[in-house]
Amino acid sequence: MLTMASEKPILYSYFRSSCSWRVRIALALKGIAYDVVPVNLLKDGGQQLAIIHYLEDTCPNPRLLPQDLKKRAQVRMIADHIVSGIQPLQNLSILKQMGEKKMEWARNCIASGFQALEQTLQHTAGCYCVGDEVSMADLCLVPQVFNAERFKVDMGPYPTITRINKALLELEAFKVSHPSLQPDTPAELRA
């Protein structure tokens, strides 16, 4: 959750949350300083893609949604596919229900989603998910690839996803927002 109660926004964040990471990237790209209040998602709630839409509406530079309407639709389609079709299937609450099969479940869900995503990106990608400008789709992609790696998904079948992810991780906003650099990251997971 992001609140605007003070001069600086406050981001209620969990170091490894895909949702929190997407917001951290957006804040870094837009140059917005913020305070972090760590939230343990094992006990509390998470973030919404709506925060990124809010940031886009209130701080439109740099743009996270292209002006070109076709590209804008492609960005939304890719972002929605990741945040609605892949990421929720490996949320903590779902994985708890899967018990001993949680790793296999997560790998299968991610691989299935990545198969469709790889095909889409082969038609939309330039340097990034849609063309050569960082977009909301890219903010969704990087945390999902991180989760894929965490769950030991074979990334070999997804060369476009891998190439885009590598390019994005070279950008400062993606580096500073990485889970290993967050204040609530356990010491053994810090970079």
Residue 29 clears pLDDT 60, i.e. is over it: yes
Token pair 């330039």 is found at 126
Q: What residues are paired with 37 via a beta bridge? A: 12
pLDDT for the residue numbered 70: 97
CATH class of 69-174: mainly alpha
Q: 55-113, pLDDT tens digit by residue?
A: 899 898 999 999 999 999 999 999 999 988 898 777 777 888 888 998 999 999 999 99
pLDDT for the residue numbered 107: 94
Residue with more model confidence, 2 or 176: 176
Residue span(s) of the chain under CATH 3.40.30.10 come to 2-62
Residue span(s) of the chain under CATH 1.20.1050.10 come to 69-174
Question: What is the distance between the alpha carbons of residues 20 and 18, in angstroms, rounded to a whole number?
Answer: 6
Distances (CA, A) of 107 to 42, 63, 88, 155, 191: 21, 32, 13, 11, 24
pLDDT for the residue numbered 98: 86
pLDDT for the residue numbered 6: 57
> 56: how many CB neighbours lie within 10 A of its CB?
17
Q: What are phi and psi of 17, to 5 degrees?
A: -70, 125
pLDDT for the residue numbered 46: 46
pLDDT for the residue numbered 33: 92
Q: What are phi and psi of 131, to 5 degrees?
A: 75, -150
Strand (E) positions, the chain?
Answer: 2-3, 10-13, 35-38
CATH fold of 2-62, please? Glutaredoxin (3.40.30)
